[in-house]
Homo-oligomer: A and B are copies of this chain.
Amino acid sequence: MSLIDKRDTLIKKWLKKAAADIKESLKSDLNVETKTKRNDLVTNMDRQIERDFVEQIQYHFPEDQIVSEEGYGDKIEDIHLEENTVWFLDPIDGTLNFVLQEENFAVMLAVYEKGIGQQAYVYDVMRDELYWAIKGKGVYCNDQLLPKMSDTPLKDGLFASNSMYLSDKQVNLNTEITKQAMGVRTIGSAGIEATELAKGSVVAYVSYGLKPWDVAPGLILIEENGGVLTEFDGSPIDLLNTKPTIMGTPTANEEIQKMI
């Protein structure tokens, strides 16, 4: 079994376990705390799921490095993305939805080897939809291969917008993009927005504050299915120092760059 297949088998097993634990946790009260601001939440489940994944990754792949949301992985400054195999882990992407909606959140993992995205997993737990990709083999939802993305321009598709309060300048950009597009949609999980783009339900997603673990799986899923992720000036994403990001079909990405 190749290393990629070995990781794939393990990751899917771990994701099943995580989903079962998360669903079980919804039967009782969550322990919710705020982090940097009143709508930046963390729960006991974010921490538990991350700790479980980090333990498993460290046990099976002791040489690898881990970038993760809640602090159980390595420090960002110690990560050598160009030299090592690096795992990006977001135990619950869309924690606000997890707490307030009990749906529309995802468990996310991505593995990069020497800076190249090899495999990605975005698991929409409550819908039981696992979006995953292995580099060069296409994007799947569960066992179903997704068709490649059409290169749809903004005017023929929907725009997925940021879910938080934005500055005037950001609101103006979003309004301008919405005007060009058919309309605007917002789910509140960067990972699920990436799957929406990969499957063609939206043609672009703009976010102002993504973290490495938010963007690493989406980058693989979207590029694998024919889309483009860049910073606002068209530069490639710097995974360890993330800036505002445009994800889109090739045409929609370019259209948005021109509006900035």
Contact = CB atoms under 8 A, between A and B. Distances in A.
Nearest to A161: B186
Interface stretch (A9-17, A79-87, A162-170, A223-231): A162-170
A68 B165 CA distance: 36
Please tell me the size bucket of the interface on A.
20 to 34
Contacts of A103: 201
A158 B166 CA distance: 15
B166 A175 contact: yes
A19 interface: no
Contacts of A179: 165
A171 to B, nearest CB: 5
Given A163-B183, A175-B165, A188-B183, A158 B201 contact: no
Which of A155, A164, A165, A166 has most B Cβ within 10 Å?
A165
Contact of A185 (B38, B175, B188, B201): B188
Contacts of A163: 183-185
Contact of A100 (B158, B165, B188): B158
A96 interface: yes
Contacts of A96: 158, 182-183
A155 B155 CA distance: 34
A249 interface: no
Contacts of A165: 175, 178-179, 183-184
A184 B179 CA distance: 18
A187 interface: yes
Interface in A170-204: 171, 175, 178-179, 182-188, 196, 201
Nearest to A187: B185
A8 to B, nearest CB: 27
A179 B188 CA distance: 15
A161 B103 CA distance: 18
Interface in A109-134: none
A104 to B, nearest CB: 8
A212 interface: no
Given A101-B158, A165-B175, 12 more contacts: A39-B183, A96-B158, A96-B182, A100-B157, A103-B201, A163-B185, A164-B183, A164-B184, A166-B178, A185-B186, A185-B187, A186-B186
User: Shortest 3 CB-CB distances between A and B: which pairs?
Assistant: A101-B201, A186-B186, A39-B182
